Chains A and B, each alone.
Chain A
Amino acid sequence: SQTIHQWPATLVQPVGSPLSLECTVEGTSNPNLYWYRQAAGRGLQLLFYSVGIGQISSEVPQNLSASRPQDRQFILSSKKLLLSDSGFYLCAWVRGITYGYTFGSGTRLTVV
């Protein structure tokens, strides 16, 4: 069966420090992968998506970047965090269009 792993679950980082969030999917190949951010009490904003290795599409210009070094691995990064980068980050993949997305358990990032 397919599973999605996302880590870490919680992260507190100082302003100006780097960031690396990792997401991996098991049990499938060539999935579409997505990074969303959810501000406190608000909806989900699509940050990046990838339809294949090395293919990254950015939805919102910002302080973050994404990479897909392997088929089932999706990484969200920043060189220098800002206070505004705080939020809840969710990774997701498409199991099949009719099934919608399957989400990871999320990372709560607090930039202090």
Chain B
Amino acid sequence: AQTVTQSQPEMSVQEAETVTLSCTYDTSENNYYLFWYKQPPSRQMILVIRQEAYKQQNATENRFSVNFQKAAKSFSLKISDSQLGDTAMYFCAFMKPLLEYGNKLVFGAGTILRVKS
């Protein structure tokens, strides 16, 4: 079974600075997807960024980018120019795209990020 590990329970960063959240996963699959979700205090789950394992190029969405190291099974999230609104819990997630498998999303335990003014 796939597992996702987020080794940083909590992190803090000053407004406008850059922070990197770590994520590692364990799988024997070659084709899969990785995601970062954000859960602000409202508890609404919001997709931040996604990465297809077959793509070598790291995904980027505005201030959010990932460092995908397939061989190392690492998928870190970099947030540039941190804003107060980035304060949230961030979840790393793994999906093996297989209908018989239910296209299930496996989540890490999450990292609480606090942006300080």
Cβ proximity bits B78-106 to A, threshold 8 Å, 1 near / 0 not: 00000000000001010101010011111
Residue among B43, B50, B99 making CB contact with A99, cutoff 8 Å = B50
Given known pairs A43-B110, A97-B97, A103-B44, the reply for A32 and B103 (CB within 8 Å) is yes
- B52 in contact with A103 (CB, 8 Å): no
The interface on chain B, measured as residues whose beta carbon lies within 8 A of the other chain's beta carbons, has a size of 23
Question: Smallest CB–CB gap between A33 and chain B, Å?
Answer: 10
**Chain A neighbourhood of B109, CB < 8 A:** 42-43
A25 lies within 8 A of chain B by Cβ: no
Query: Would you list 28 pairs from A and B whose C-beta atoms are within 8 A, ordered by A residue?
Result: A34-B105, A42-B109, A43-B107, A43-B109, A43-B110, A44-B107, A46-B104, A49-B102, A49-B104, A51-B99, A59-B104, A90-B45, A92-B45, A94-B103, A97-B95, A97-B97, A98-B33, A98-B50, A98-B52, A100-B33, A100-B35, A100-B93, A100-B105, A101-B47, A103-B45, A105-B44, A106-B45, A108-B43
Binding site for A on B (CB under 8 A): 33, 35, 37, 43-45, 47, 50, 52, 91, 93, 95, 97, 99, 102-110
